[in-house]
Amino acid sequence: MASPIGGALPTPAVVVLVVIGLGHVLWQRMRGEPLQIKRLLVLPLVFIALGVIDLTAPTAPHLRPADVAVLVAGAVVSVVLGAFRGATVELFPREGNLWQRYRVVTVLLWGVLIALKLLLTLVAHLVGAAAAGNSEGLMLTLGLSLLGEAVLVAPRALSTGVPFASEHSRAYRSLRSWARTHRLARPQSRSESVPG
């Protein structure tokens, strides 16, 4: 539900929930956590689904050209910054599995995304793009950004040869099989470290 201020700002409750959820993700990944397919891919897909469902619900504001323009701009920014973050995530072996950890620059890129999202929300409010500036747009932004991060992290992780924490899952085996058949052949010594 949008706020009464022109219908273009997220409700405080949604903002608080997103901040708590994002804060938990940042804290866990700054400390380091086992890399799992479900955490890497399911979370962004859930946020994207929630954003799309809410944007297209019968009670949602009608999408006008201004809404579409702001949503597209937000989507591009989210995916690009997510991909940049994915390139900065540290991958390392621990206890026989692959782990991931956010670096300082990774967290700073989250800050850039939040600042740009606030700017886009203000722009949406000013141009009357109610649907693009409400809480559903926030969910979509977060999901796309996490997906952009995963798109960079997943192939880097698969190329290390270190098993994921959920190695026995069907999703892991499928991705590992796909990576083996599509990987470019290149010599790699055992002494090579896991890409940072």
* pLDDT tens, residue by residue, 128-139: 877 676 666 778
For residue 176, what pLDDT is reported? 57
Mean pLDDT of the chain: 79
Tokens, residue 43 = 């979370």
Q: Is 5 exposed, middle or buried (0-12, 13-18, 19+ CB in 10 A)?
A: exposed
3-state secondary structure of 184: coil
Mean pLDDT of 30-44: 88
Mean pLDDT of 56-68: 81
For residue 177, what pLDDT is reported? 60
pLDDT per residue over 147-193, tens digit each? 999 999 999 999 999 998 864 544 445 555 655 665 544 444 444 44
Confidence category of residue 1, pLDDT binned at 50, 70, 90: very low
Name which of 24, 5, 174, 26 is nearest 89 in CA terms. Answer: 26
pLDDT per residue over 112-127, tens digit each? 998 998 898 888 888 8
Element holding 70 (H helix, E strand): helix 65-88
For residue 2, what pLDDT is reported? 42
Tokens, residue 75 = 């989507």
The residue extents of the domains of the chain are 12-177
The upper half-sphere exposure of residue 59, i.e. CA atoms within 13 Å in the direction of its Cβ, equals 5
